[in-house]
Amino acid sequence: MKFAVLGGGSWATAIVKMLAENQAQVGWYMRNSEAIDYIKKEKHNPKYLSSVEFKLEQLELSDDINSIIKNADVLIFAIPSAFLEGELQKATVSFQSKIIFSAIKGIVPETGLIVGEHFHEKYNIPFENIGVITGPCHAEEVALERLSYLTIACDDQEKATLVAKNLSSHYIKTKISDDIIGTEYAAMLKNIYALAAGIYHGLGYGDNFQSVLMSNAIREMKRYIKRVHKMKRNINNSAYLGDLLVTGYSTFSRNRMFGNMIGKGYTVKSAQMEMKMVAEGYYAAKSAFEQKAKFSKKVKTPIIDAVYQVLYEGKNAKRTFKELTDKLD
């Protein structure tokens, strides 16, 4: 069984590290040919998790997406959702015989769908061949080999087990789930809530209030996911609440960092330029807000609404988030 990781960022680098430690043969697609040349020479990624050293004999590195897809059985996508479809348009080989797992925490802008639904609806991939890799887990802590947990979700439990086995190690523990839709929506929504946590931090709110925000966020997440995909799930499990907490509180969180800059007075454009990284919550806020309008019944989402108003309607962050405090309990 050969794996392929598609993406060149920190999460892709962490996944390659996990697979390589289990002696898997890994194809690695990166569109940056200079980064590929650097890895082949120096054995580590120059821009992301540079402390991680790779055994080159286990890797097939290429900027040709078709050769990487063609030679792999399992494809793990770790490309930011905003750029996913652009990369998929380069692919001329078929996905039909492939097992596809998404490690992407976001919405595909072209369709407004989570990644699993995007592959299912646009590329006719059956759900039993689609899976999700979610946290709570930061790539930076994988690089440091700190104890971390992953949730692997797929309708086909054998495929989930296969991927889980190849990602597990002495510092990575894995859990299997059949809630592919719920876990992927949770991974998308928690970025919006982390962005809200960052905005509040930038505005000067303290830890006491942050706990109230997180409490309200997990309940809001539960309402939203239940409207999208109703099934029996425990929203307090690590894939939902755990991932929300680590993204909302961690200094490694790009979404919290982005929100913090907005709270301090940066414009959206200036914050994006300053970070030089993708904050998935920015795109997710628009998609989640617009999708909510399509629900047959209204769902109460004051936090998503406030983030959307600040990022896309130009509302004043201080005033908007002060009004939000009166809607939380």
Residue with tokens 């998935």: 280
How does DSSP assign 145-203, residue by residue? T--EEEEEEESSHHHHHHHHHHH--SSEEEEEES-HHHHHHHHHHHHHHHHHHHHHHHT
Helix, strand, coil percentages, rounded to 5, for the chain: 55, 15, 35
Beta bridge partners of 319: none
Residue with tokens 């992301």: 48
Cα dihedral 285/234/300/229 (nearest 10): 70
Catalytic machinery residues:
190
Q: Which helix (H) or strand (E) holds 79?
A: none
Given a contact cutoff of 8 angstroms between Cβ atoms, the answer to whether 9 and 81 are in contact is no
CA-to-CA distance for 301 and 227, rounded, in angstroms?
A: 12
